[in-house]
């Protein structure tokens, strides 16, 4: 039997998520999380079949986190030798202007990611820590960086440039990069294979609607526009993020509240969106429940979200010159018939959508489904996303020299 394995890693500043796949066929073997890195009560989790291991212990740094993962994999016999992990893919949030696809994680890639720290001070240093920890533990593995922004690099200037003084855009690389690119790419590839096979000049709108949410307009498998901006704060309303607003709201609130730009930034990132408008929760399950109890603020938040998503769908319909398929995905898009309907109701007249209500109601909990009827001018599908698998697929491609 082929012992080779592939690992997908998502390293944050105090956490490290991992998923291990068989090389052949990319079947999931196990996964887990190291959390509260830097604390005495760090958490190590491993999910392996029916087994759910959890340990609380001091985890001073990412190196210790990786040591815990590899020791557990060896102890449980999941991995015979750590060298069996032949390829490792690291999720990296910001690839800036440098990366339009996944890249071998070498010194040059590391240097560029470090250079991009001002664009993503929260994640970039953590990605590098995760990379070093694995590199030290398994130096022989083919290691790659998979960027959230890479898939959006096909956007043209008209779509990514902000109308601020041009010299500032250039000097500080201040432009739209988008995010969730790995998810949008996975969805587009799945959608093309499943629903638009053999068709040329394909036009897809992918809606990744989770606690973070973004849309992408994809023509012939290439992104032409996406809703997130310089950072993941832009675009549609989200769990705690405002999405697009008049920029003067920042100035106005800073003046009225006597707070600093970073405090306003915090307010728009962490206290807005579903949480801020509903006053209930950032989790749409709670807001949806309150909606059906006729809670006014829950109704307002839900309608605001649906309007913004529908508006982007309309914008991208124009941008693409039509649309063959709308895809819903991520936590809300995959699990909530209610929010899908709320969005589609606001787009159906203009786009000639005909939604199969029964199919919509049945599509949740990881089910893939076409939820439009044959009468619909645009197909609508629910496709569960899988960013880790995409990362593992790229890691395999790199190992085989196909990246």
Q: Which of 284, 302, 360, 372 binds ligand AMP (CB under 6 A)?
A: 284
Q: Which two tokens stand for residue 183?
A: 């998810």
Residue 35's closest CA among 56, 52, 53?
A: 56
CB of 134 to ligand AMP, least distance (A): 24
**Rounded-to-integer distance, Cα 235 and Cα 239, Å:** 12
Closer residue to ligand AMP (CB): 149 or 284: 284
CB of 267 to ligand AMP, least distance (A): 19
Closer residue to ligand AMP (CB): 224 or 332: 332
Q: Are strands 379-382 and 369-370 parallel, antiparallel or unpaired?
A: antiparallel
Residue 360 is a binding residue for ligand AMP (CB under 6 A): no
Residue 335 is a binding residue for ligand AMP (CB under 6 A): yes
- Phi-psi region at 48: left, alpha or beta (left = phi > 0; alpha = psi -120 to 50): beta
What residue number has its CB nearest to ligand AMP?
A: 331
**Rounded-to-integer distance, Cα 43 and Cα 52, Å:** 13
Residue found under tokens 């109890």 = 293
- 247 Cβ neighbours under 8 A, 6+ residues apart: none
CB of 365 to ligand AMP, least distance (A): 7
For residue 124, give Cα distances in angstroms to 128, 142, 148, 172, 343: 6, 20, 12, 17, 34
Q: Which of 13, 14, 100, 211 binds ligand AMP (CB under 6 A)?
A: 211
* Residue list 136-175, contact with ligand AMP (CB under 6 A): none
Select the span of 127-135, 281-289, 302-310, 347-355 touching ligand AMP (CB under 6 A). Answer: 281-289
Q: Which two tokens stand for residue 117?
A: 């720290």
Rounded to 5 degrees, φ, ψ at 164 are -110, 170
Helix (H, G, I), strand (E, B) or coil at 236: coil
CB 182 within 8 A of CB 91: yes
Helix (H, G, I), strand (E, B) or coil at 370: strand
Q: Which two tokens stand for residue 169?
A: 């855009």
Select the span of 93-101, 207-215, 262-270, 317-325 touching ligand AMP (CB under 6 A). Answer: 207-215
* 244 has catalytic annotation: no
CB of 79 to ligand AMP, least distance (A): 28
Q: Which of 20, 34, 205, 330 binds ligand AMP (CB under 6 A)?
A: 330
**Rounded-to-integer distance, Cα 53 and Cα 72, Å:** 10
Please tell me which residue in 35, 84, 120, 148 is annotated as part of the active site: 148
Select the span of 190-198, 206-214, 240-248, 250-258 touching ligand AMP (CB under 6 A). Answer: 206-214
Residue ranges of alpha helices (H) inside 161-295 are: 166-171, 181-195, 248-257, 261-270, 273-278, 284-291
**Rounded-to-integer distance, Cα 119 and Cα 129, Å:** 17
CB of 14 to ligand AMP, least distance (A): 18
Closer residue to ligand AMP (CB): 211 or 269: 211
Closer residue to ligand AMP (CB): 109 or 284: 284
Residue 289 is a binding residue for ligand AMP (CB under 6 A): no
Residue 384 is a binding residue for ligand AMP (CB under 6 A): no
Q: Which of 52, 111, 285, 377 binds ligand AMP (CB under 6 A)?
A: 285
Residue ranges of alpha helices (H) inside 58-123 are: 62-75, 107-115
Q: Which of 283, 295, 311, 354 binds ligand AMP (CB under 6 A)?
A: 283
CB of 210 to ligand AMP, least distance (A): 2
CB of 283 to ligand AMP, least distance (A): 4
Local structure of residue 168 (DSSP, 8 states): H
Rounded to 5 degrees, φ, ψ at 255 are -65, -50
Residue 210 is a binding residue for ligand AMP (CB under 6 A): yes
Q: Which of 42, 95, 331, 384 binds ligand AMP (CB under 6 A)?
A: 331
* Residue list 216-245, contact with ligand AMP (CB under 6 A): 239
Instruction: By CB under 6 A, name the binding residues for ligand AMP.
Output: 210-212, 239, 283-285, 330-332, 335-336
**Active-site annotation, residues:** 148
């Amino acid at each position: 039997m082929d012992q080779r394995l592939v690992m997908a890693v998502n390293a944050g500043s105090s956490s490290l998520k991992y998923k291990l796949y068989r090389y052949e066929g990319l079947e999931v073997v196990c996964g887990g999380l190291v959390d509260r890195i830097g604390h005495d009560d760090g958490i190590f989790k491993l999910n392996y079949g029916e087994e759910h291991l959890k340990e609380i212990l001091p985890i001073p740094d990412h190196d210790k986190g990786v040591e815990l993962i590899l020791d557990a994999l060896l102890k449980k016999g999941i991995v015979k030798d750590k060298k069996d992990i032949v390829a490792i893919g690291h999720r990296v949030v910001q690839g800036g202007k440098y990366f339009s696809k996944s890249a071998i994680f070498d010194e040059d890639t590391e240097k560029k990611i470090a250079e991009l720290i001002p664009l993503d001070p929260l994640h970039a240093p953590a990605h590098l820590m995760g990379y070093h920890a694995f590199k030290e533990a398994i130096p022989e593995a083919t290691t790659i960086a998979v960027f959230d922004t890479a898939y959006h690099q096909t956007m043209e200037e008209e779509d990514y440039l902000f109308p601020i003084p041009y010299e500032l855009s250039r000097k500080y690389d201040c432009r739209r990069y988008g995010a969730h690119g790995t998810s949008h790419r996975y969805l587009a590839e799945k959608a093309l294979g499943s629903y638009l096979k053999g068709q040329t000049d394909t036009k897809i709108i992918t809606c990744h609607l989770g606690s973070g949410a973004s849309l992408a307009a994809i023509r012939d498998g290439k992104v032409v526009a996406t809703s997130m901006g310089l950072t993941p704060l832009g675009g549609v309303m989200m769990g705690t993020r405002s999405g697009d607003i008049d920029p003067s709201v920042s100035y106005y609130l800073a003046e009225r509240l006597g707070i600093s730009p970073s405090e306003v930034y915090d307010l728009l990132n962490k206290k807005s969106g579903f949480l801020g408008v509903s006053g209930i929760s950032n989790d749409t399950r709670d807001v949806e429940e309150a909606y059906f109890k006729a809670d006014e603020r829950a109704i307002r938040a839900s309608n605001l979200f649906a309007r913004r998503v529908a508006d982007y769908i309309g914008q991208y319909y124009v941008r693409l010159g039509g649309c063959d398929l709308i895809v819903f995905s991520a936590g809300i898009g995959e699990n909530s018939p209610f929010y899908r309907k709320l969005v589609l109701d606001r787009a159906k007249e203009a786009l000639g959508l005909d939604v199969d209500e029964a199919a919509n109601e049945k599509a949740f909990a990881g089910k893939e489904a076409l939820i439009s009827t044959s009468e619909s001018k645009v197909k609508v599908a629910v496709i569960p996303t899988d960013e880790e698998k995409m990362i593992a697929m790229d890691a395999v491609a790199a190992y085989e020299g196909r990246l």
